[in-house]
Chain A
Amino acid sequence: MQGADTAWILTSTALVLFMTLPGLALFYAGLVRSQNVLSVLMNCFAIAATVSILWFAVGYSIAFGDGNAWWGGLGKSFLSGVDIDSVSGTIPETLFFMFQMTFAIITPALIVGAYPERIHFSFVIAFSLVWVLIVYAPVVHWVWGGGFLAEMGLLDFAGGVVVHVTAGVSALVLAMMLGPRRGFPGEVQPPHSPGLTMIGAAMLWVGWFGFNAGSALAADAAAGMAMTVTHISAAAGAIAWSVMELIRYRKASLIGAVTGMVAGLATITPASGSVGPIGGLVLGLAGGVVCYMVTQAVKQRFKIDDSLDVFAVHGVGGMLGTMLTAVFVSVALGGNGLAEGMTIGSQLGVQALGIVIVAIWSGVLTAVIVMVLKMFLTFRVDEETEVQGLDLALHGERGYHNM
């Protein structure tokens, strides 16, 4: 057990939890109508609390147990066999469990962006728990728990596939099955608090250092480089998106800038252990531009109300970054170098296969989960509730008291 590594991963764990509470929570809260602000905050908070227990019970075991190439088994349920002295690499296993827990929390929390302002709260919790159990935890095992995608040589340092593709694709499917918000697309209300969104985004930028640099699982050179490329990509993403808006509307908006930043961060996530600073710059710019265009396409061309653009920003950003990893990992472009026996072409193939497998897994299972849960739980609230706002109707609270 190494003290420096342990100290850094302790810090990273706190940073990544901070990304959800309150980073992502505030980011999303500012984007919805004022009468739904509490429901979004509550979704994120409740997911954090409930997924924590699920992860402790079986999630960690499915992901990191000693099973086979497909799933980790239940051997580590309730941290059985793991005690204060257990070690994972150079850090305590309890800490590795915790670090991974914060990823297991934020991934279903990302999906909140697909369904706000119209989904029923009990459905949110039930869906998130089942989703973590049968979609997320197995994928973690495949990519990080020694499963078959790891054996194939898939490069996903901090979760481009594990977090962003799973959440992004699932969000898209869920949004399609749930149906759009009332008034979509022509008469949707604008974000009620762009300032709140920026505050949340700022917390995400800082927290992402724990997400990516922490994925080095050590206080070392890899962490330093991961932090560097992460930061450059965030900045580049923000600039790229803002430039797109300047070209199109002659105005750069705050919400656009912070969304571009998130796009850059989502794109660099899988690559943060492989690429160098130039790669970070390219991925950030690419993420900002591509995600901007996909955001428009999903909402305007395909008319899918993935309300807070989870697929366009996280899903597409994650996919783009995962593919570009295969290119910018090469030493010639400043990366760490391709794995033994791989070429850019063969690595691209592995990356693509990983994306496709995980995307199909996520999409199909999300549809199944929704269809099954719909039989027992209210899926979408009625029209009157939707107009009134979920805060009062589902939680008995007002976010703002005006009179």
Chain B
Amino acid sequence: MKFIVAIIKPHKLDDVREALAGVGIEGMTASEVKGYGRQKGQTEIYRGAEYQVNFVPKVKIEVAVDDAVVDQVVDAIRNAANTEKIGDGKIFVLDLQSAVRVRTGETGVEAL
């Protein structure tokens, strides 16, 4: 099993959710995070004073998948989240040691 962590632009969350549903992924976790990479922060102005805000709001998606569909899932996320501009984000694939369904106690792929 693999654990996929993707940082995407917030307004792309719905597109990614739909794309994942399209490849059979029915569950995920999304959280609001802040980050920066090549897209530096921006300057915000309040009352005539400039504030340099380094961290940009992003959304982090986490989804656990079977090895067999990893590439499909990564492609689905990437195509849905891509705006071809700096700041589109990154996708990380981690090895997932185990998974358990809380309600039934099922483990492994049955838990996904």
Contacts and interface: CB of A to CB of B under 8 A. Distances in A.
Interface stretch (A43-51, A114-122, A144-152, A242-250): A242-250
Interface stretch (B10-18, B46-54, B88-96, B99-107): B46-54
Interface of B: 44-49, 51-53
Contacts of B53: 190
Contacts of A77: none
B45 A309 contact: no
Contacts of A255: 46-47
A253 B46 CA distance: 7
Contacts of B52: 186-187
Nearest to B49: A299
Interface residues of A, number: 23
Contacts of B51: 188-190
A108 B25 CA distance: 59
Contact of B46 (A187, A190, A244): A190
A75 interface: no
A295 B45 contact: no
Q: Which 9 A-B pairs have the closest CB atoms?
A: A190-B51, A255-B47, A255-B46, A190-B46, A191-B46, A249-B45, A259-B47, A256-B47, A253-B45
11 contacts: A31-B47, A186-B52, A189-B51, A190-B46, A191-B46, A245-B45, A248-B48, A251-B45, A253-B46, A253-B47, A255-B46
Interface in A166-196: 186-191, 194
Contacts of A68: none
A256 B52 CA distance: 17
Given A255-B46, A256-B46, A309-B47, 11 more contacts: A187-B52, A188-B49, A188-B51, A190-B51, A191-B46, A245-B45, A249-B45, A253-B46, A255-B47, A296-B48, A300-B49
B55 to A, nearest CB: 12
Contacts of B48: 244-245, 248, 256, 292, 295-296
For chain B, what secondary structure do more than half of its interface residues adopt (helix, strand, loop), or is it mixed? strand
A248 B46 CA distance: 13
Interface in A234-275: 244-245, 248-249, 251, 253, 255-256, 259
A245 B49 CA distance: 10
A37 to B, nearest CB: 16
Nearest to B51: A190
Contacts of A249: 45
B36 to A, nearest CB: 16
A248 B43 CA distance: 14
Nearest to A253: B45
Interface string A303-318: 0000001000000000
A310 to B, nearest CB: 13
Contacts of A256: 45-48
A293 to B, nearest CB: 9
Contacts of B45: 245, 249, 251, 253, 256
Of the listed residues B45, B47, B48, B51, the one surrounded by the most CB atoms of chain A closer than 10 A to its CB is B47
A197 B18 CA distance: 38
A31 B46 CA distance: 9
Contacts of A191: 46-47
A301 to B, nearest CB: 13
A295 B46 CA distance: 12
A221 B53 CA distance: 51
B49 to A, nearest CB: 6
Nearest to B53: A190
Contacts of A244: 48
A162 B76 CA distance: 67
A384 to B, nearest CB: 22
A314 B84 CA distance: 48
A389 to B, nearest CB: 18
A295 B45 CA distance: 14
Nearest to B54: A187
B52 to A, nearest CB: 8
A251 B52 CA distance: 16
Interface string A114-151: 00000000000000000000000000000000000000
A390 B48 CA distance: 26
B34 to A, nearest CB: 13
A309 B48 CA distance: 11
